[in-house]
Structure 1
Amino acid sequence: MNQFFSLEAAGEAESLPGAFDSSGGAVLPTRPAGAPAGRLLDLGQLEVRWDAAASALWTWMTPVDRPNFNPAMLRDFQRWQAGIRESFAGPEAALKYLVLGSRFPGIYNLGGDLDLFAGFIARGDREGLVRYGRDCVSILHNNMRALDLPLVTIALVQGDALGGGFEAVLSFNVIVAERGARFGLPEIAFGLFPGMGAHCLLTRKLGAAKAEQMMLSNRLYSAEEMYELGLVHILAEPGEGEEAVRAYIAKNGRKQTGHHGIYQASGLIAPITLEELEAVVDVWADAALSLTPSDLKLMKRLVEAQSRLAAV
């Protein structure tokens, strides 16, 4: 049996990354052999577990409402990334694989917080749109760089990854998807486009023409179609995605250094800078402020549909 420890729920502390008890005091949970001495942060919308046998840190998104990247979840991701960097820095760090999945049934992530967007747009708040977008692409860029650690990153997709959820998935080295999962970029339906990484990542992976086709199509792609395009690397049967990740790690663990080197070199050959991502966010914010009332009405209907999902 794999050896796990679960980091206890953290409070809302604003201090350096770490796990905190309800009184705000630092908690150093019991760690299995091989785990680093540093601290990790487990937050309300992120569940974190350490698998010492596989040198893997498993994280699941656990949204409290709609399964999207709300501002609170973005803060959780910022602290999560900072905590990992703190805990696994150094030449003898145990972490080799970083896995991100979702606990929300049938959904990986539906992307941007459309309700928040609609409010910014209604108020003409370009600064708010840009600030949200830059928070997103900063997290995305950190993940693309594997947090500047010798990691292989793995996305475990067991449900729909749409909009920013799809963009997030594209930032991982390895994508494991269960059959039945769907991928898509629906922003064009309400007159917008995916502004948090899809354009840059898909263009590097598929070429500009295919990337534009995907962003303009407003269609859903199956996990099988994504596999044929080379975007999904491993197909798993429904309910077997986690085991597929474990099998991948078990098969490739001795080759991990080489795999990480290949992914790192690919980033050097076709680099995506934070400045490039932020420049696209600026274009996205300007486009958002040009949406019509009918576009915003459609956006609101999508928010209502997401809310119904969360209420089930």
Structure 2
Amino acid sequence: MNVPTQLLEAPRQRIGSQEFNTQGEIHFSPQLQARYDKEQQALWLRWKPSPRPCFNPALLRDLRRYCDMVDVSGAELMLNGEKFPIAYSILTSGTPGVFNLGGDLDLFVNLIERRDRDGLQMYGRACIDVLYRNYVSYDLPITTISLVQGECLGGGFECALSSDLIVAERSSRFGFPEILFNLFPGMGAYSFLERKVGQKLTERLISSGQIFSAEEMLSMGVVDVVCEDGQGEAEVAALIRKQSRNRNGLNAMYRARRRVHRLDFSELLDIVNIWVDSALRLTSRDMKLMQKLVSRQNDLGAHQVH
């Protein structure tokens, strides 16, 4: 089980009519598709990882392709011969009850057992490459939104945090279970959270291993909007309508926020290296605990298939 070098080598692509079908959809793979909503001026990106609802290498490769496309788009796309603006990029899941469970723990176990430092670094680098571009909104006038419907754990939580706004359905749950097997979330958690809620709360969320409700996340200032179960997409649509008149000013405010709380890619890369060093120090007991969480990922994946 190797990390494919294609994770970091996918060619940059330009969004065009040859990629989108007449319904405004593009299918990167069975795990990832995007849909453009003309009324909302929004790209909805939806993933459905298999066999487990986590960021496996193939999904990361497809996410890299999506990011490359948005990067070179100039915040607009050609669809059926017409040009349309991209005002919003929305991350969401096609797996019922799960936003994302995070890192590919089965792969981690394999790489750690083989002492494959390069493989761990390549995986971490592929993760932060995707999350950083979402965090900086591709350096374009695009507002990024994460719609969380269900379990949002570990790297899945990091992914949600990389967006300008987080909308969560009420039964969604958030947390970083990595500390339970003596590791920490190394693909942006500390950097994103510390800039949003400060050091003390960041370290509490990372070090406790506790699972938090959407309402708790709202009260802490981590989540921006909580809505009723099943109403997530409608809530995002309502948020977009509410922002439509002031979108330019609000988008500029989000950009200013990122400038005040500046985050360089090099910071994320340094933390990935800390994560790799920490992963390679895990004991056999730690690895057994990680394997238990792999089993839980498998169980959730199998449950959603049926």
Measure the CA separation in 1 of the matches of 2:299 and 2:103.
17
Q: Confirm or deny: 8 A CA contact 1:40 1:87 kept in the other structure.
A: no
**2:139 corresponds to:** 148
**1:272 corresponds to:** 263
Measure the CA separation in 2 of the matches of 1:19 and 1:54.
18
Which amino acid is the alignment partner of residue 203 of structure 2? E
How far did 1:16 drift?
5.0
Q: Deviations over 1:59-117 (max 9, x none)?
A: 11111210000000000100011122334446985110111110111100000000111
Which amino acid is the alignment partner of residue 13 of structure 2? P
Measure the CA separation in 2 of the matches of 1:210 and 1:132.
27
Correspondent of 1:179 among 158, 167, 170 = 170
How far did 1:143 drift?
0.5
**1:235 corresponds to:** 226
| Inter-CA distance 64–246: structure 2 relative to 1 (3 Å threshold) | same
Q: Confirm or deny: 8 A CA contact 1:191 1:291 kept in the other structure.
A: yes
Measure the CA separation in 2 of the matches of 1:84 and 1:31.
18
Structure 2 gap ranges (5+): 1-9, 78-82
Which amino acid is the alignment partner of residue 225 of structure 1? E
Identity over the aligned pairs, expressed in percent?
44
TM-score of the superposed pair, with normalisation by structure 2 = 0.89
Measure the CA separation in 1 of the matches of 2:96 and 2:27.
24
1:129 corresponds to 2:120: yes
Give the 5 Å matches for 1:195-210.
195-210=186-201
Correspondent of 2:160 among 141, 147, 169 = 169
Counting matched residue pairs gives 289
Which amino acid is the alignment partner of residue 270 of structure 1? H
**1:282 corresponds to:** 273
| Inter-CA distance 184–81: structure 2 relative to 1 (3 Å threshold) | same
| Inter-CA distance 61–179: structure 2 relative to 1 (3 Å threshold) | same
**1:81 corresponds to:** 67
Q: Confirm or deny: 8 A CA contact 1:68 1:110 kept in the other structure.
A: yes
**How much is the aligned-residue C-alpha RMSD, in angstroms?**
2.2
Q: Confirm or deny: 8 A CA contact 1:17 1:40 kept in the other structure.
A: no
How far did 1:250 drift?
0.9
Which amino acid is the alignment partner of residue 30 of structure 1? T
How far did 1:279 drift?
0.3
Measure the CA separation in 2 of the matches of 1:18 and 1:64.
27
Q: Confirm or deny: 8 A CA contact 2:26 2:33 kept in the other structure.
A: no
Q: Deviations over 1:38-61 (max 9, x none)?
A: x96633211211100110111111
How far did 1:294 drift?
0.9
Measure the CA separation in 1 of the matches of 2:196 and 2:19.
42
Structure 1 gap ranges (5+): 1-13, 21-25, 33-38
Measure the CA separation in 2 of the matches of 1:60 and 1:90.
19
TM-score of the superposed pair, with normalisation by structure 1 = 0.88
Measure the CA separation in 1 of the matches of 2:145 and 2:268.
21
**1:226 corresponds to:** 217
Q: Deviations over 1:190-212 (max 9, x none)?
A: 00001000011111111112111
1:298 corresponds to 2:303: no
More off after superposition, 85-94 vs 275-284: 85-94
How far did 1:251 drift?
1.1
**2:5 corresponds to:** none
How far did 1:184 drift?
0.0
Which amino acid is the alignment partner of residue 207 of structure 1? G
| Inter-CA distance 272–27: structure 2 relative to 1 (3 Å threshold) | closer
Measure the CA separation in 2 of the matches of 1:73 and 1:268.
30
Q: Confirm or deny: 8 A CA contact 1:17 1:41 kept in the other structure.
A: no
**2:31 corresponds to:** 45
Measure the CA separation in 2 of the matches of 1:16 and 1:279.
25
Secondary structure of 1:58's aligned partner: strand
Which has the bigger relative contact order, CA under 8 A and spacing at least 6? Answer: 2
Measure the CA separation in 2 of the matches of 1:262 and 1:64.
37
Q: Confirm or deny: 8 A CA contact 1:41 1:80 kept in the other structure.
A: no
Q: Confirm or deny: 8 A CA contact 1:19 1:40 kept in the other structure.
A: no
Which amino acid is the alignment partner of residue 103 of structure 2? G
More off after superposition, 104-113 vs 78-87: 78-87
| Inter-CA distance 61–40: structure 2 relative to 1 (3 Å threshold) | closer
| Inter-CA distance 16–195: structure 2 relative to 1 (3 Å threshold) | closer
Q: Deviations over 1:202-235 (max 9, x none)?
A: 1111111211111111100100001001111111
Measure the CA separation in 2 of the matches of 1:209 and 1:307.
33
Measure the CA separation in 2 of the matches of 1:88 and 1:107.
32
